[in-house]
């Protein structure tokens, strides 16, 4: 089975062209290829299929084999894969996901996609959209204890669930602390389907730094839907403006929540690392 490893700001996945390849057990394959000791090493698996409603369809699987609805960094790489290989040369391009069909404006340099601006759609702010066992009034600035300190958590769905925590200095969150607190919140009973967790530190109206713990994958260098949720949470709580650069360990994303259509727009790079062959499909 042929595969390609790609990344968006260090958030790397293994991509398989299911226009040509067949995958019998996607969950098992995700666990195998993602292993950084015995596999290729990645944050999960992305399968690229034909779509009846868009230029292509992406299926996302986390490191633990669980199915994810959407990944903002991965969808940019899917668009690059589809465009660069001539599967579709439409620009804007439409990609079908488990969270719906999203549109991407592509920046093409020397015949290949370098950047993509993704229309992430409108944020979903009802408890049942995540889901979370809180009332609508409790979803914004809800008190939450982290490392013995009181932070403030805001819940946002961008097609997948996110809990954004403000008020905890990122300097306190080393790898061990991020793993412990991220895992604890990810699996907290208030999130029946688990959640992605983001610790955000606001530098100003247009600048936010984030550390991320992804549901089913753990600490990751970047998260596109998470960066979108962080911006929305900051706007809802008056901490940042509607357009900001989100700094993550893997690099920066430009996020804008436009009042005109209530949609969130994410702009960032997509990079191909290498291709190879996996011995099992």
Which tens digits make up the pLDDT trace of 258-274?
999 999 999 999 999 99
Question: Rounded to an integer, what distance in angstroms lies between the CA atom of residue 66 and that of residue 71?
Answer: 13
Using pLDDT thresholds of 50, 70 and 90, give the confidence band for residue 281.
Answer: low
pLDDT of residue 98: 95
Distance CA(32)–CA(26), nearest Å, equals 10
Residue 280 has pLDDT above 90, yes or no: no
DSSP 187: T
Choose the catalytic residue: 77, 117, 155, 223: 223
pLDDT at 23 exceeding the cut of 60: yes
d(C-alpha 44, C-alpha 27), whole Å: 10
User: Which of the following is catalytic: 12, 18, 71, 155?
Assistant: 71
Q: What pLDDT does residue 15 have? A: 98
Residue 199 or 280, more confident? 199
Instruction: Please tell me the predicted confidence (pLDDT) of residue 28.
Output: 97
* Predicted local distance difference test score (pLDDT) of residue 7: 97
Q: Which two tokens stand for residue 93?
A: 């391009």
pLDDT of residue 247: 98
Across the range 239-248, mean pLDDT stands at: 98
Same CATH fold assignment for domains 2-118+268-277 and 127-262: yes
CA distances from 66 to 22, 59, 195, 238 (A): 19, 11, 13, 34
- The set of residues, in sequence order, having a beta carbon less than 8 Å from that of 272 and lying 6+ positions away, is 4, 5, 6, 77, 80, 81, 84
Taking alpha carbons only, the member of 69, 61, 2 closest to residue 30 is: 61
pLDDT at residue 202, rounded to an integer = 98
Q: Domain coordinates of the chain in residue numbers? A: 2-118+268-277, 127-262
| 117 carries an active-site annotation | no
Q: How far, in Å, CA of 119 to CA of 107, rounded?
A: 14
Q: For domain 2-118+268-277, which CATH number applies: 3.10.310.10, 3.40.50.720, 3.40.50.2300, 3.40.640.10?
A: 3.10.310.10
Residues in the chain: 281
Give 81's pLDDT tier (boundaries 50, 70, 90). Answer: very high
Q: How far, in Å, CA of 227 to CA of 156, rounded?
A: 11
Closest alpha carbon to 60 in 185, 224, 188: 224
12 is a catalytic site residue:
no
254 band by pLDDT with thresholds 50, 70 and 90: very high
Superfamily per CATH, domain 127-262: Diaminopimelate Epimerase; Chain A, domain 1 (3.10.310.10)
Tokens of 196: 């992605």
């Amino acid at each position: 089975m042929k595969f390609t490893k790609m990344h968006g700001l260090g958030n790397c996945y293994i991509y398989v062209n299911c226009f040509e390849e067949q995958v019998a057990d996607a969950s098992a394959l995700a666990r195998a290829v993602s292993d950084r000791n015995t596999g290729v090493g990645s944050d999960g698996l992305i399968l690229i299929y034909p779509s009846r409603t868009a230029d292509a369809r992406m299926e996302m699987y986390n490191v633990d084999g669980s199915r994810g609805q959407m990944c903002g960094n991965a969808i940019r790489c899917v668009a690059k894969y589809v465009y660069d290989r001539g599967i579709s040369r439409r620009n804007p391009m439409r990609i079908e996901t488990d969270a719906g069909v999203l549109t991407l404006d592509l920046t093409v340099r020397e015949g290949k996609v370098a950047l993509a601006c993704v229309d992430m759609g409108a944020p979903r702010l009802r408890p049942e959209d995540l889901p979370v066992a809180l009332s609508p009034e409790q979803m914004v600035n809800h008190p939450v204890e982290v490392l013995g300190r009181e932070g403030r958590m805001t819940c946002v769905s961008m097609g997948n669930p996110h809990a954004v925590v403000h008020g905890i200095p990122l300097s306190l969150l080393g790898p061990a602390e991020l793993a412990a607190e991220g895992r604890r919140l990810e699996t907290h009973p208030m999130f029946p389907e688990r959640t992605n967790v983001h610790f955000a530190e606001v530098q100003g109206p247009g600048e936010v730094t984030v550390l991320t713990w992804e549901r089913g994958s753990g600490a990751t260098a970047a998260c596109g839907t998470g960066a979108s949720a962080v911006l929305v949470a900051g706007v809802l709580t008056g901490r940042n403006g509607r357009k900001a650069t989100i700094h993550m360990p893997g690099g920066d994303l430009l996020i804008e929540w436009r009042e005109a259509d209530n949609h969130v727009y994410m702009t960032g790079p997509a990079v191909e690392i290498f291709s190879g062959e996996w011995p099992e499909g």
